[in-house]
A and B are shown apart, each in its own frame.
Chain A
Amino acid sequence: MGKPVLEIGGLHKSFGALQATRDVNLAVNEGEIHALIGPNGAGKTTLIAQIYGSLKPDAGQILLQGEDITARSVEERVHLGLGRSFQISNVLMDFTVLENAIIAEQARQQAAFRFWKPAFQDRELIRGAGKILTRVGLEDRRDRLVSDLAHGERRLLELALALAADPVVVLLDEPMAGAGPEETQNMTQIIKQLKGEVSILLIEHDMDAVFQLADRLTVLVEGTTIANGTPAEISANAAVREAYLGSES
């Protein structure tokens, strides 16, 4: 694998007496799919928020392609190449699928602050938006209102929007959340195809999907990283098995 594109070192975050994040160390290498797993309450959400930039850590460092982004805003991190999908689909319900993609495309081009030409009829934007949708197979649903989409399709759109800005690293927060078996298979295939194009930090509970996709895993328990390595190494790890007794999805 390549060199690390996302490095987290010595991250700490406390809420009063509660230590949500304790000395977390994690590295995502170029082109790999790196899964972050852990039982419920391990602090994955808090950790993701700190990587994304919506929460400030108390101590530690986050490097994106070698650049220190610990103190940077969400907006700056996105411009530096960080993308993110949300666990609960944050798609634009009142717009069509294509319109969602157009809004993402104009943001990608950093050309959203324009006032004259109608955005949804812009041929260039439509073309770029089409590419965003084709990536996840939503091309033929382009004219549907998002509120009319099935849950699985919304998750796909969520993924598409996360990838729209051609990020270097993308945080996928439980992309399979709420998806049925068919949808999960479909999503797994699509994420597999992304390997090499973009580096992925994948948070997932679905162990089948995780083991199908991940090149390496990091295990988070009670706010701290207890193990990391290949899927084979992790499944053989005694500490991990203990933490997971009975809590497989």
Chain B
Amino acid sequence: MQLIKGWFTAAPLLWLIVLLFALFPIYTTLADLPFWNDVAMRIMLLGMAAMGLNLVLGYGGMVSFGHAAFIGIGAYVTGIANFYGLDNGWLQIALALGICAVTGMIIGFLSLRTSGIYFIMITLAFAQMLYFFFVSLEQFGGDDGMVMNRSDFVFIDLWAPLSLYYMIVAALALTALLLCVLVHSRFGVTLRALKSNQSRVEAMGLNALRFRITAYMISAMICGLAGALFANWQEYVSPDIMHWTRSGELMIVIVLGGLATLAGPLLGAVVFFLLEEFLPEILAHILPAYAENWLLVFGLFLIAVVLFGRGGLIGVSQKLRARLGKGAG
């Protein structure tokens, strides 16, 4: 019991946000703003995928520029299965997880022979290969993508209001729990140690590749799950979901919230969406002619975050608290 409690107390902010998401529909129902449920679902899915990437990027120190590909695989497995009449949602998820695990293992094995910028590029290359592969599949819509129906989850009716919502909350909670467990486990600790100093860990007789490929596979599966749920939500799959800029988006979200923190990716996803929603609005008030060009401000914001906001929101707030603590005490 102490053990399980520990997993939750290790990341109070993360669980707070998950809880808020769980309670959110109460507000939207009362205020009659069902549209915001959709926004919340997208944030949760983005946060989930970011958490998956954070395992290898933040904790593992592997800058993978191709994780959007796994989201895409998850989405397409769901879409293609539906296309052929195999619409059992549980089976689809199992299939998506399995394919992502195998793909993650292969890509990880080939990529982890390199390091540094080469690793970034080879992961990008594999992601691009997959992107163009799906674009080439004419029978599934190619570039335009294809429409699909929500899957049949047997005892859960995805058409019932909030069914999909709470399914996503559950998946998010599971991912959060998995990350909490992994990061503190012997496996996770070794992975983090490898990031800190690979030579030392190898001198202890440990095989770096074994730990890293495992982490890569797990992160691929998490992204795949996010992709499968996203396809169900959107009722549509297209290669856009795995464009390389999507991988960039995941990185932005993680860095925004705080690299190598448990709450960072989800927090980053929330902030990212808020920016996407409100920057155009703010601009519309100050400089209405340029409201459409809010990406300009966002671009500058991103540069500022990199230059001045080391550690993301969580890092900056920790530094602030330390400074204020010193001032007061």
Chains A and B touch (C-beta atoms under 8 A apart): yes
Which A residues contact B (CB, under 8 angstroms)? 74-75, 78-79, 83-84, 86, 90-95, 99, 102-104, 106-108, 110-122, 161-162, 164-165
A80: nearest residue on chain B (CB-CB)?
A: B205
A106 touches B190 (CB 8 A): yes
* Residue among B3, B203, B211 facing the most chain A CB atoms (10 A cut-off): B203
- Say yes or no: B185 contacts A115, CB within 8 Å: yes
B185: nearest chain-A partner, CB-CB: A115
* List of B residues within 8 angstroms of A122 by Cβ: 186
The answer to whether A162 and B190 have CB atoms under 8 Å apart is no
Q: By the criterion CB–CB under 8 Å, are A93 and B197 in contact? A: yes
| Tally of A-B Cβ pairs under 8 angstroms | 95
Q: Is the CB of B205 within 8 A of A165?
A: yes
Which residues of chain B are near A99, meaning CB under 8 Å? 189
Is B6 in contact with A121, judged by CB distance below 8 angstroms? yes
CB distance from B58 to the nearest CB of A (A): 12
Given A90-B200, A90-B203: A103 in contact with B189 (beta carbons within 8 A): yes
User: How many angstroms from the CA of A86 to the CA of B201 in the assembled complex?
Assistant: 12
Q: Is the CB of B201 within 8 A of A103?
A: yes
Is B99 interfacial (CB 8 A cutoff)? no
Tell me, rounded to whole Å, the shortest Cβ–Cβ distance linking B214 to chain A: 8
| In the bound complex, CA of A116 to CA of B199 (Å) | 25
- At the interface, yes or no: B193 with Cβ under 8 Å from chain A? yes
Q: Knowing A86-B199, A92-B197 are in contact, say whether A119-B205 is a contact too (CB < 8 A).
A: no
Residue of A with least CB distance to B260: A94
- Name the residue on A nearest B198 (C-beta): A90
Tell me the interface secondary structure of chain B in the complex. helix
The interface residues of chain A lying within 8 Å CB-to-CB of B197 are: 90-93
Q: B207 near A: Cβ within 8 Å?
A: yes
- Ordered by A's residue number, 11 sampled pairs between the chains whose C-beta atoms are within 8 Å are A75-B202, A75-B206, A83-B203, A92-B196, A95-B192, A106-B190, A114-B187, A115-B181, A115-B182, A119-B184, A165-B204
Q: Which residues of B contact A114 (CB under 8 A)?
A: 185-187
B323 on interface, CB distance cutoff 8 Å: no
The chain B residue sitting closest to A73, CB to CB, is: B207
Q: Which A residues lie within 8 Å of B188 (CB)?
A: 119
Contact of B190 among A91, A94, A103 (CB under 8 A): A103
Q: A120-B184, A161-B200 are in contact. List 16 more A-B contacts (CB 8 A).
A: A86-B200, A90-B197, A92-B193, A92-B197, A92-B200, A99-B189, A102-B189, A106-B186, A106-B189, A111-B186, A113-B187, A113-B214, A114-B186, A115-B187, A118-B6, A121-B6
B210 contacts chain A at the CB level, 8 A cutoff: yes
Give the Cβ gap from A80 to chain B, nearest Cβ, in Å.
9
Q: In the complex, what distance in Å separates the CA atom of A112 from the CA atom of B190? A: 7
Complex Cα–Cα for A45 and B199 (A): 15
Instruction: Please state if A117 and B3 are interface contacts (CB–CB under 8 Å).
Output: yes
Q: Is the CB of B202 within 8 A of A74?
A: yes
Q: What are the residues of chain A within 8 A of B203 when measuring CB–CB?
A: 74, 78, 83-84, 86, 90, 161-162
Interface string of B1-41 (1 = CB under 8 A from A): 00100100000000000000000000000000000000000
Complex: chain B residue closest to A111, CB-CB: B186
| A231 CB → nearest B CB, Å | 29
A218 to chain B, nearest CB (A): 23
- With beta carbons under 8 angstroms apart, the residue of A104, A116, A117, A119 that contacts B204 is A104
CB distance from B175 to the nearest CB of A (A): 15
**B184 is contacted by which of A75, A78, A112, A118 (Cβ under 8 Å)?**
A118
Shortest CB distance B239–A (Å):
34
In the complex formed, the residue of A with least CB distance to B200 is A90
Q: Which residues of B contact A104 (CB under 8 A)?
A: 204
Instruction: For residue A197, give the distance in angstroms from its CB to the closest CB of chain B.
Output: 19
Q: Are B205 and A117 in contact (CB under 8 A)?
A: no
**In the complex, what residues of B have CB within 8 A of residue A162's CB?**
203
List chain A residues, Cβ under 8 A from B204: 78, 103-104, 107-108, 161, 164-165
* Residue of A91, A99, A113 most packed against chain B (CB within 10 A): A113
Measured in the bound complex, the distance between the Cα atoms of B185 and A121 in whole Å is 10
